[in-house]
Amino acid sequence: MSILPQVIFLLVFAVAGYILFKRISFLRRNIFLGKRETRNDLPDQRWKTMLLVAFGQQKMFKKLTPAILHLMIYVAFVIINLEVLEFVIDGIFGTHRVFAPFLGSAYGVAMNIFEFLAIAVLVSCVAFLIRRNVTKVERFTKPELNGWPAMDANLILVIEIILMFAILTMNATDQILASRGIPHYTLLNGLFFSSFLQPIFQGMSDGSLVFIERFAWWFHIVGILAFAVYVTYSKHLHIFLAFPNTWYSNLKPKGEMINMPEVTNEVNMMLGIASETNQEPPTEIGRFGAKDINDLSWVNIMNAYSCTECGRCTAECPANITGKKLSPRKIMMDVRDRAEEVGKSMDSGGPGLADGKSLLGDYISKEEINACTSCNACVEACPINIDPLSIILQMRRYVSMEESAAPAQWNSMFQNMETAFSPWKFPPSDRFNWAEKVKNEEIKEN
């Protein structure tokens, strides 16, 4: 018996593994271009958040139809990977359906479940293609999705459909060969869904069926490996990053803005208050706020790589709804694109972050960040707890504190808060005059 198929399989597997290793190393380096941030507090709550939001798909069910379609693909992805394990073992040792002798009749039941899930994926992917390209759901028609992002989404769906057809074709031809008593093939107790494809192949010769079955087998396993590599270049990287992304979620109340430690320490020193961290402030602060990705935290950049571009954040954004330029989804896509640009420049021996470009200005405009109302609707809407607002606030801080370029109306408000301790220009002593007026009006009415 030739060992050539096993050698080829191991070579393909090794090449895919090497490419994955290089790409994962690239992504990890890019993510850690951001500043250090520690989020290891409240581990019990973090595990619970990850299990409910990432594994349990909790926030997806705010919209029932896409949630059910997504759930079918998600469950299929998790369970069908058990069959991929069998593919790998068969590929290494030259066996065929290696688990069948150990599981007996339960193996046929498992295969029927896998086929049902394959059909569920087919239905869901077709429905998603229709939603994107025929009915054109509004959140899929925004300008930031033009070009490659739209093609990427459609390509993934088409690939998944082809891979599922490969499974069904393999099973259909496999069972015809088994029924003919061809060695190496195991007859199972009736595979329901693939049986509908068997009439297409019944009139073919044994050699033709073996070729189609082997081609479908190789196409599926090579397709799975290629898909795993492709995902790391695609918005579907969230398949893997959703879990760490939700674990490192910001657990503070959504209305609470995180103060800059440098400013907090400075104010505490001026007021004679001991710093909570008991650390000396740095002799020189690099930068207030964020201008480029290295000013953001690594969690912000991981958020960007975790974004699946679903657009729920933009669909809920009041600024976007009223026609403003801001799109929280675009903010995350821009952070990811800038990280990719810097990473590729560094790998090619280029200037990296010193390329004369920056996230603010070259990717994200002041008009966009100024349109944000800080309402946290985008954070609440995200199915995996991505936080675009954190990035927006950090860029706003840079514009206000480094460039002194905040809008004139904001500067007036800042000045009033500094001098009158409120956004309105009247002395603090008059702050509760309105209450007296209300009280007097009530007395008159009574």
Regarding whether 113 and 68 lie in a shared domain, the answer is yes
Say whether both 212 and 266 belong to one domain. no
What pTM does this model have?
0.87
Is 223 in the same domain as 338? no
Lowest mean pLDDT among 16-30, 169-183, 258-272: 258-272
Instruction: Specify whether 143 is located in the same domain as 267.
Output: no
Q: What is the mean pLDDT of residues 76-92?
A: 85
DSSP-assigned beta bridge partners for residue 297: 35
Which pLDDT value is given to residue 196? 93
- Residue 333: inside a domain, yes or no? yes
How do residues 153-164 score in pLDDT, each as one tens digit?
999 999 999 999
Domain assignment present for residue 45? The answer is: no
User: Does 419 share its domain with 402?
Assistant: no
In 3D, which of 53, 36, 29 has the Cα closest to residue 247? 53
Are residue 137 and residue 213 in the same domain, yes or no? yes
Q: CATH number, domain at 315?
A: 1.10.1060
432: domain range?
414-446
The reply to whether 290 and 401 lie within a common domain is yes
436 and 340 within one domain:
no
Give the phi and the psi of residue 51 in degrees, each rounded to 5: -65, -40
Least reliable range by pLDDT among 13-17, 34-38, 190-194, 271-275: 271-275
Tell me, letter by letter, the H, E, C secondary structure of 167-215.
HHHHHHHHHHHHHCCCCCCCCCCCCCCHHHCHHHHCCCCHHHHHHHHHH
Question: Is the model's pLDDT at 265 over the cut of 70?
Answer: yes
Look at residue 141 and tell me if it is in a domain.
Answer: yes
CA distances from residue 142 to 63, 149, 327, 388 in whole angstroms, order as listed: 19, 11, 9, 17
Confidence band of 33 (pLDDT split at 50, 70, 90): very high
Same domain for 383 and 313, yes or no, is yes
44 lies in some domain: no
For residues 222 and 357, membership in a common domain is answered with: no
Whether residue 296 contacts residue 391, with contact meaning beta carbons closer than 8 Å, is answered with: yes
- Residue 153 belongs to some domain of the structure: yes
Is the same domain home to 220 and 129?
Answer: yes
Closest CA to 190 of 109, 86, 104, 119: 109
pLDDT digits (tens, 9 = 90+) for 287-319: 889 999 999 999 999 999 999 999 999 999 999
Which residues, 6+ apart, have CB-to-CB distance to 193 below 8 Å? 112, 115, 116, 118, 119, 168
184 lies in some domain: yes
Query: In the chain, how many domains are there?
Result: 3
pLDDT digits (tens, 9 = 90+) for 119-151: 999 999 999 999 999 999 999 999 999 999 999
Task: Compute the mean pLDDT over every residue in the chain, rounded to the nearest whole number.
Answer: 89
In this structure, the number of other CB atoms found within 10 A of the CB of residue 256 comes to: 9
Q: Are residues 77 and 192 in the same domain?
A: yes
Residue 106 lies in a domain: yes
Domain assignment present for residue 432? The answer is yes
